[in-house]
Structure 1
Amino acid sequence: MTRPAHIAKMAEPDDDPFVPEPSGRYFNRELSWLAFNRRVLEEACNSAHPLLERLRFLSISGSNLDEFFMVRVAGLKGQQSQDVGQRSVDGLTPGQQLSGIVAEADALLASQQAVWGDLRHLLDDAGIFVLRRDAIDGEAHGWLETHFREQIFPILTPQALDPAHPFPFIPNKGLSIIFDLTRVSDEEPIMELVMLPATMPRFVRMPGEPSRYISIEAIVRRFSAQLFPGYVVNGSATFRVLRDSDIEIEEEAEDLVRYFANAIKRRRRGRVIRLEMETGIPDSLSAVLRDELGGSDAIITESGNLLGIGDLDMLVDEDRPDLKFPSFSPRFPERIREFAGDCFAAIRAKDIVVHHPYETFEVVIAFLKQAAADPDVVAIKQTLYRAGKQSAIINALIAAAEAGKSVTAIVELKARFDEEQNLYWAAALERAGVQVVYGFIDWKTHAKVSMVVRREGNAFRTYCHFGTGNYHPVTARIYTDLSFFTADPALGRDAARMFNYITGYVEPTHMERVSLSPRDLRANLMAMIDDEIANARAGKPAGVWAKMNSLVDPAIIEKLYEASAAGVEIDLIVRGICCLKPGVEGLSDHIRVKSVIGRFLEHSRIWAFGNGKALPNDGAKLFISSADWMPRNFDRRVEYMLPILNPTVHDQILDQVMVANLLDNEQSWELEPDGRYVRDEPGDRPFNLHRYFMTNPSLSGRGAALESRDAVPTLSLRRQR
């Protein structure tokens, strides 16, 4: 698939690109991400959380760190090996960044092991035991031996390590055990390797009560005599590898589907980025692993006695509601119920915003199901970035196509670690008659938009859904996101132009309301900040509120510094990476940055500009978006920025969602000028934004439920300058 010339030109860097000076104006991106993951780990230490939820946070921190090495560290290693001298925005070479990363990652791994030790004792006290291999006897030993013999032994394939048996390939995230043995008959030494298949559960739950778990590696080592009869086990150790898992797109790829199918296979064999070995591994075994897997690129570490901390999520499934967050059932918007469940009638009456996960994602599914079943609907267009394994969205699109409607699905094959699932969905959609489009070769389609064209009388009306999150029913239960439904004709025309841009490379010459990247999103965003700068210089109140996942883009950061110097008050809610330095005298005196880490993952992107008055106010310019403030989102992804003009929706997002995020002091961290994150102290006025929205549903879709003005408490921002 070849790109038209004018599209190729847009993919190139600007003629006059922004090149920052290494002047200490930025935090390093990778170290900022590690700081974020440490905040996640800190939640595992938060005694205010139930025990199994603390274990979940520990598991998440482990999985996060794995992906960081497989992608970000792998990329830096690639630059280093190819002698690429490109520096980060803070002026560091790839080698300098790697040195800092390794030191901080090792400290993070040590902290994870320490937290696991603490949580293990607390689990014991709560009646959930994770047993060591030497802590089982009597009847339990008999059951475990039978389980090993019948369920584990047939699957394992020991491999000798000698000249006749070269060292085998260890898959990405593969957990294995290496044994140092002596043959009894002739006292001949030999080394053996046992790979633990990924299809086997990491922990085995023993029957009965109390809850007793034992890791698969502990079981194998306990019964190693049955694997190696006639041998004496002198020593053994577990180890694990992480491989380069990024997929680079070659512009000359003629068939994107075939390219990705092959690239996924290659990814499984990527070079080793990190070799993790059990603490205390015998020197003889360590030497073999270093020789065979270390290579010149691998980062080697002894990482404690439980490798693969992310696998602890299996224990969280234990049926102990007393050790988990109280159950929570999101509500369905009353506005749609008032129209007897007719999504189109409700949207036609007035724009609706839905606040996930407090309000159910089922409304999005209902919107598409109704479109599929409605005989008056003639066309559906849908972007799919991550749809999940059991996707009702996919089923609705298939039903619509089978009903004879024109259905177009833009499936993003470059959604990292979801490529294989997306290939599967694309094939299923095509079989049903859906027109499947894969978009641009070197840009990701990250915008979350659904468009339904319906015949009403003698004309057609377009209904749109704009989301800040993915069409993923599982993550929608734990990610905070916004779904905006509208029948505004201007937004419908803009959505149609966006889809034509992606499917046919028809670059829009005019957009009425919506901004798109890489077309004009960054420029329009900077123009909004410029307006606030002009207001401040004219002596008017000026302010910027922005909520996002990451802030990296140097041009935007410099514009925010300029705004701060002009006196614009700037409050940023950045959950993850933040390269901007707040509160630095003479640079960012008027900028504050906070990060919220709690029960739900803050994911929505919301931006507000005072427009001549102090925030919040009814006339503020308010936007939702699919984009973070990162170069990739502005330059290499199709993203949208949408103005919120409906007064009710405007109030709900600005006066409720944004104010609640700024008020939160129970799960918030403030970024200091030196890069440290300091947890807020609730003091005598504690406020937890997640609890607030669970117990006080936001204004969206309330309909007649808002006749009582006490239905939703009014939030008041209390600021200390």
Structure 2
Amino acid sequence: MSLGRPPQKSSGLAQTEAASARATEDRIELLQSGPSREPDGGFGAERFLDREISWLDFNARVLELAEDDTVPLLERVNYLSIFASNLDEFFMVRVAGLKRRIATGIAVPSPAGVSPADQLDALETAALALQLRHAQVFADTIRPGLEDNNIFVTGWDALDAEAQARLTTYFNEQVFPILTPLAVDPAHPFPYISGLSLNLAVVVKNPVSGKELFARVKVPDQLERLIAVDGPRAAAHASRVARYLPLEDLIAVHLEQLFPGMDVVEHHVFRVTRNEDVEVEEDDAENLLMALEKELLRRRFGPPVRLEIAQDINPNVRALLVRELGVSEEEVYELPAPLDLRGLASLARIDRPALRFEAHVAHTNRYLNESETSKSANVFAAMRRRDILLHHPYDSFSTSVQAFLEQAAADPHVQAIKQTLYRTSGDSPIVDALIDAAEAGKQVLALVEIKARFDEQANISWARKLEKAGVHVVYGIVGLKTHSKLSLVVRAEKDGLRRYCHIGTGNYHPRTARFYEDLGLLTCDPQVGEDVSRLFNQLSGYAPKSTFKRLLVAPRSLRSGLIDRIEQEIRHAEAGRQARVVVKVNSIVDEAIIDALYRASQAGVRVDVIVRGICALRPGIPGLSENIRVRSVLGRFLEHSRVFVFANGGDTVAFIGSADMMHRNLDRRVEALVRLGDQKQVDHIVALADRYMAETTASWHLTPSGAWIRHATDDEGQPLEDVQEWLLGQARRGRG
């Protein structure tokens, strides 16, 4: 059995994909083989699935949505774009990190019996197979589907003379001035190629000497990748033809203007992915902000981890790129044009309601919408009446969390606001509210996590803007990322100061709140307020021995607290009482948590896991995990909430919060889970988990071998229930 990359120069896409598929089957046999008992009766390291392969399997599920002809066409286009963006991040972080650890000799966690080098080879082989499948979905299914609806991704030669003239004018006025051709010769070294940029490798010839030279032209990323040939509004009309020309094609047909006096012999599109993970040695950094800015500058020049080239590339140009970029043959990915299908996002935004999901307008949570007047609800009054469990995007973020902070900023009785910011939007009303509060003389603390991956520069800008407005800005605890989602408002009332809190599973990001599924709790419960105050004091000052009553906080008590709860379920099962564990997370890879769930399964505890992305747990294995089921739900909204439910002998307990079951979350981040105090809310969470896990719900099921099997229809071929559409219906009827 070989894990080597399939032949790069097959006669066509189908042959290359077939070879990749065979190699993929080999890596599944090696990395995902069923566990075998060790002499001591245990299952050993094979009780865990490979996390990186599991991540690729998650992205394959995204691709399945793009392949699903029951999904509206433009939503399928969007899934193709999301897949491309996801895979870029996988290479920039996961593959890059594995390569770095191998190069530096750092121990690499890997499946039993698999060397790090074989693991890397398997990942690259699997990634190539997925990329080829991705390209084929666009070429064979999506592109023809778009054309059936009068939307064409076209080439220059297919355009009429009038369209070509318009585009030439556009090129001369909008494109040509920002292009910079970079020649390669003894006086001009090979240029730096920025990560994720699309480039043209150009071969030109001096007509006098006959000598051929190489040049590189970067496709500007500040311009739309797909140019609307017939204007931006044409595609909105189903009866009108709307044509889109890739920007690189427009540049290619006008290369002579960039190299006057030279003959353009040929051109080829290529793209480089670099290691863009950030590592800051905080213990040695006198100023974290300055250290991170320096590291961000270094990230731009990280080593390449992937070279994408078009399949029809000249072998000599290919060899030059490989040599000058310093990539290995295993890092070269030959793909059908067009490269970088992230650009399809512009097509996904076309205003054609018939080709999209039905529009969703988030509704105000019913407990915030009890007034019969048009005046916006008083969030503080609503919180004094009861705890409010929010479920976004079904519940409006703007009329709940955003309104909570905006009202706090404007309320003269509010004395202080404390807020964590991990990711937020470019025009953030949350940040504006904090600035307004500070300018009004309130005490405002913002904990800005400037190490949030790929949002580092934006968060640095926010931190400086907040500081200028008089907000106390801190960056948390050295060595830890602050990932918890917390707001604390202190308000003066007749009977003294009262603390109002929001604890959520998602970021304070109004835009993503429209398509991320998240939970949040608005409460003025004194015990929760005390816990959140202590946690903020720990983050902004020195309080390493803080204890909490309603919160589980990483890195000190979250893992151990959850394991204690799981062990308690084991004792309930052994005593014949109700015992069940439900876990809903983005990822689950932590060995201690998984082993605790295995022990629970062996004791007869029913364990249900709902996971969007990575899952290292093997369900359904006799003697190990036969009482564990794993489901994955993907759809129009990104499942993002983290939920933990324990039957607790009949007195069910539920937590929500920010933590995934990963080493980084449990050991290197400040995370917070809050225990729900309202039994009706606990019952609601249990009912929701039951619906996610139901056999009548459309989902993917994880098998003991590590394969994900999609269950979308019943035995009669009828569609299973889409839980997100069901929740949308509930929200429209005011039953959220």
The AA in structure 1 aligned to 2:415 is: V
Once the two structures are overlaid, the 10-residue window that deviates more, 665-674 or 26-35, is 665-674
Match for residue 313 of structure 2 among 281, 302, 323: 281
From the superposition, tell whether residues 682 and 612 of structure 1 become closer, same or farther in structure 2 (CA, over 3 Å). Answer: farther
Offset, 1:370: 0.6
Is the Cα contact below 8 Å between 1:665 and 1:681 reproduced in 2? no
Match for residue 249 of structure 2 among 218, 229, 250: 218
Counterpart for residue 259 of structure 2:
228
Where 1:23 maps in the other structure, the secondary structure is helix
Match for residue 222 of structure 2 among 187, 199, 207: 199
Offset, 1:297: 9.7
* 1:697 maps onto 2:708 in alignment: no
Offset, 1:100: 1.0
Where 2:519 maps in the other structure, the secondary structure is strand
* 1:174 maps onto 2:197 in alignment: yes
The AA in structure 1 aligned to 2:348 is: V
Match for residue 481 of structure 1 among 490, 502, 518: 518
Residues 245-324 of structure 1 aligned to structure 2 (within 5 Å): 245-250=276-281, 251-295=283-327, 299-324=331-356
Counterpart for residue 462 of structure 2:
425
* 1:358 maps onto 2:403 in alignment: no
The AA in structure 1 aligned to 2:337 is: N
Is the Cα contact below 8 Å between 1:669 and 1:678 reproduced in 2? yes
Offset, 1:461: 0.3
Where 2:267 maps in the other structure, the secondary structure is strand
Q: Provide the rounded CA distance (Å) in 2 between the counterparts of 1:89 and 1:343.
A: 50
Offset, 1:664: 7.0
Counterpart for residue 34 of structure 2:
none
Q: How many equivalent residue pairs? A: 677
Is the Cα contact below 8 Å between 2:620 and 2:626 reproduced in 1? yes
Counterpart for residue 14 of structure 1:
none
Residues 56-95 of structure 1 aligned to structure 2 (within 5 Å): 56-88=78-110, 90=112, 92-95=114-117
Offset, 1:84: 2.5
Offset, 1:323: 1.1
List runs of 5+ in structure 2 lacking aligned partners: 1-41, 235-240
| Residues 207-248 of structure 1, C-alpha deviations (whole Å, 9 max, x = no match) | 354211111111111222333333333321011111111111
Where 1:453 maps in the other structure, the secondary structure is strand
* 1:436 maps onto 2:477 in alignment: no
Q: Provide the rounded CA distance (Å) in 2 between the counterparts of 1:85 and 1:459.
A: 55
The AA in structure 2 aligned to 1:245 is: E
Offset, 1:633: 1.0
TM-score (norm 1): 0.91
Where 1:265 maps in the other structure, the secondary structure is helix
Counterpart for residue 326 of structure 1:
358
Match for residue 630 of structure 1 among 662, 672, 677: 662
Is the Cα contact below 8 Å between 2:45 and 2:111 reproduced in 1? no
Once the two structures are overlaid, the 10-residue window that deviates more, 383-392 or 329-338, is 329-338
| Residues 10-51 of structure 1, C-alpha deviations (whole Å, 9 max, x = no match) | xxxxxxxxxx98531111000000000000011001111111
Counterpart for residue 398 of structure 1:
435
| Residues 426-452 of structure 1, C-alpha deviations (whole Å, 9 max, x = no match) | 011101100000012311100001000
* 1:532 maps onto 2:566 in alignment: no
TM-score (norm 2): 0.89
Counterpart for residue 121 of structure 1:
144
Counterpart for residue 344 of structure 1:
380
* 1:646 maps onto 2:678 in alignment: yes
Offset, 1:654: 2.1
Match for residue 145 of structure 1 among 142, 160, 168: 168
Where 1:455 maps in the other structure, the secondary structure is strand
Counterpart for residue 8 of structure 2:
none
Is the Cα contact below 8 Å between 1:294 and 1:300 reproduced in 2? no
Is the Cα contact below 8 Å between 2:203 and 2:214 reproduced in 1? yes
Q: Provide the rounded CA distance (Å) in 1 between the counterparts of 2:68 and 2:51.
A: 26
Residues 98-113 of structure 1 aligned to structure 2 (within 5 Å): 98-113=120-135
Q: Provide the rounded CA distance (Å) in 2 between the counterparts of 1:449 and 1:386.
A: 13
Offset, 1:510: 2.5
Offset, 1:180: 1.7
| Residues 106-145 of structure 1, C-alpha deviations (whole Å, 9 max, x = no match) | 0011011001102111111111110123222321111122
From the superposition, tell whether residues 584 and 631 of structure 1 become closer, same or farther in structure 2 (CA, over 3 Å). Answer: same
Q: Provide the rounded CA distance (Å) in 2 between the counterparts of 1:387 and 1:431.
A: 18
* 1:661 maps onto 2:674 in alignment: no
Q: Provide the rounded CA distance (Å) in 2 between the counterparts of 1:685 and 1:269.
A: 49
| Residues 498-555 of structure 1, C-alpha deviations (whole Å, 9 max, x = no match) | 0011111312442121111111111110011101111111223321111110000001
Residues 486-635 of structure 1 aligned to structure 2 (within 5 Å): 486-613=523-650, 619-635=651-667
Q: Provide the rounded CA distance (Å) in 2 between the counterparts of 1:332 and 1:638.
A: 30
Is the Cα contact below 8 Å between 1:665 and 1:688 reproduced in 2? no
Counterpart for residue 11 of structure 1:
none
Is the Cα contact below 8 Å between 2:586 and 2:611 reproduced in 1? yes
* 1:160 maps onto 2:191 in alignment: no
Q: Provide the rounded CA distance (Å) in 1 between the counterparts of 2:572 and 2:539.
A: 37
Offset, 1:665: 4.7
Q: Provide the rounded CA distance (Å) in 1 between the counterparts of 2:258 and 2:522.
A: 60
Is the Cα contact below 8 Å between 2:184 and 2:215 reproduced in 1? yes
Counterpart for residue 721 of structure 2:
687
Q: Provide the rounded CA distance (Å) in 1 between the counterparts of 2:476 and 2:436.
A: 23
Counterpart for residue 31 of structure 1:
53
From the superposition, tell whether residues 572 and 52 of structure 1 become closer, same or farther in structure 2 (CA, over 3 Å). Answer: same
| Residues 175-226 of structure 1, C-alpha deviations (whole Å, 9 max, x = no match) | 1101122222332212221112222221111135421111111111122233
Q: Provide the rounded CA distance (Å) in 1 between the counterparts of 2:443 and 2:57.
A: 47
Is the Cα contact below 8 Å between 1:448 and 1:469 reproduced in 2? yes
Q: Provide the rounded CA distance (Å) in 1 between the counterparts of 2:542 and 2:62.
A: 41
Q: Provide the rounded CA distance (Å) in 1 between the counterparts of 2:615 and 2:726.
A: 26
Q: Provide the rounded CA distance (Å) in 2 between the counterparts of 1:256 and 1:21.
A: 44
The AA in structure 1 aligned to 2:276 is: S
Where 1:166 maps in the other structure, the secondary structure is coil
Is the Cα contact below 8 Å between 1:498 and 1:508 reproduced in 2? no
Q: Provide the rounded CA distance (Å) in 1 between the counterparts of 2:674 and 2:419.
A: 17
Q: Provide the rounded CA distance (Å) in 2 between the counterparts of 1:443 and 1:458.
A: 38
Offset, 1:159: 1.8
The AA in structure 2 aligned to 1:487 is: C
From the superposition, tell whether residues 698 and 443 of structure 1 become closer, same or farther in structure 2 (CA, over 3 Å). Answer: farther
RMSD: 1.8
Is the Cα contact below 8 Å between 2:155 and 2:249 reproduced in 1? yes
Counterpart for residue 705 of structure 1:
none
Identity of aligned residues (%): 45
List runs of 5+ in structure 1 lacking aligned partners: 1-19, 614-618, 703-710, 713-721
The AA in structure 1 aligned to 2:120 is: L
Q: Provide the rounded CA distance (Å) in 1 between the counterparts of 2:689 and 2:732.
A: 12
Is the Cα contact below 8 Å between 1:184 and 1:232 reproduced in 2? yes
| Residues 447-484 of structure 1, C-alpha deviations (whole Å, 9 max, x = no match) | 00100000011410000000110000111000110110
The AA in structure 2 aligned to 1:682 is: T
From the superposition, tell whether residues 51 and 187 of structure 1 become closer, same or farther in structure 2 (CA, over 3 Å). Answer: same
The AA in structure 1 aligned to 2:135 is: Q
Where 1:697 maps in the other structure, the secondary structure is helix
Match for residue 186 of structure 1 among 199, 202, 209: 209
The AA in structure 1 aligned to 2:731 is: P
* 1:468 maps onto 2:505 in alignment: yes
Where 2:592 maps in the other structure, the secondary structure is helix
The AA in structure 1 aligned to 2:96 is: A
Match for residue 375 of structure 1 among 401, 409, 412: 412
| Residues 284-324 of structure 1, C-alpha deviations (whole Å, 9 max, x = no match) | 11011011113459711112212112121111122222211
Is the Cα contact below 8 Å between 1:386 and 1:471 reproduced in 2? yes
Q: Provide the rounded CA distance (Å) in 1 between the counterparts of 2:610 and 2:328.
A: 40
Offset, 1:682: 3.0
